[in-house]
Amino acid sequence: MDLDLIKDKAWQSMGTRHSHPDREPGYAYYHGQRVAKIGIQLRKLVFPDQSSYDDVIVVGSWFHDVGKGIEPHWEYGALICREILADLCPADTLEKIVEIVGSHTLRKAGHYPDYVKLVQDADILDHFGSQEIWLRFWHSAYRRRNVEDALRFQRDSYLPHISKVRQLLNFPQSIEFFDEKDRFVQEFMKRFAREAQGELCGE
């Protein structure tokens, strides 16, 4: 597979597209690029000797949200991806890539191969930590919500939300990274709450 050419195709289909009002234009492209890198890092940790499907993880991650904005986006995404990559991948590789796109949201809904489960986890992980804070600011700005609204979300909804998502992760290694991101966000939000009251933090 010519990964440079395939990456260009990903850029052409998502690089500047505004697929979701709560997210910036091009989000699906850059998110896909990050998910690929996270997916490979997880693969090296969870299955250190199984590098044979790394290209499948990379290309599947790049295109996993290509259908975003046309729901159910994983089903439309699988169709779009199959069309874009038809002449660019060997047939059996294309099937695996399409399988990633078509089932990346169906976590714990069935038995999936490792390359699907790794991308499912990488997809979740990219929405948390500092990316989560970025997404929350974007969401608040787009919805005209204020600091009090953001603090209320943290107080009332954050913990139930995070424990629900945590249960969807497939590998203990993913859970470790998820928990670290959770701690980071909780620390950040504690300080955000204090500074929102005009408190000077530090010495």
Cα dihedral 112/115/116/122 (nearest 10): 140
Stretch that binds Fe ion, among 12-20, 51-59, 122-130, 135-143 (CB under 5 A): 122-130
* Minimum CB–partner distance for residue 35 and Fe ion (Å): 6
Q: Where are the alpha helices (DSSP H) in the chain?
A: 3-14, 27-46, 54-63, 73-85, 91-103, 114-125, 130-142, 147-156, 158-166, 172-196
Cα separation, 64 vs 174, in Å, equals 19
* Minimum CB–partner distance for residue 146 and Fe ion (Å): 28
Radius of gyration over alpha carbons of the chain, in Å?
Answer: 18
Stretch that binds Fe ion, among 79-87, 123-131, 157-165, 194-202 (CB under 5 A): 123-131
Closer Cβ to Fe ion, 174 or 189, answer by number: 174
Q: What is the pattern of x (binds Fe ion, CB under 5 A) and - over residues 46-75? A: -------------------x----------
Cα separation, 43 vs 17, in Å, equals 29
The site that binds Fe ion (CB under 5 A) totals a number of residues, namely: 2
Closer Cβ to Fe ion, 107 or 189, answer by number: 107
**Contact between 123 and Fe ion (CB under 5 A)?**
yes
**Contact between 132 and Fe ion (CB under 5 A)?**
no
Closer Cβ to Fe ion, 65 or 182, answer by number: 65
Beta carbons within 8 Å of 126's beta carbon, 6+ residues apart: 31, 34, 35, 38
* Minimum CB–partner distance for residue 65 and Fe ion (Å): 4
Closer Cβ to Fe ion, 99 or 123, answer by number: 123
Q: Could you check whether the bond before residue 72 is cis, i.e. omega within 30 degrees of 0?
A: yes
**Contact between 121 and Fe ion (CB under 5 A)?**
no
Residues 155-184 that bind Fe ion (CB under 5 A): none
- Cβ(108)–Cβ(72) under 8 Å? no
Binding site for Fe ion (CB under 5 A): 65, 123
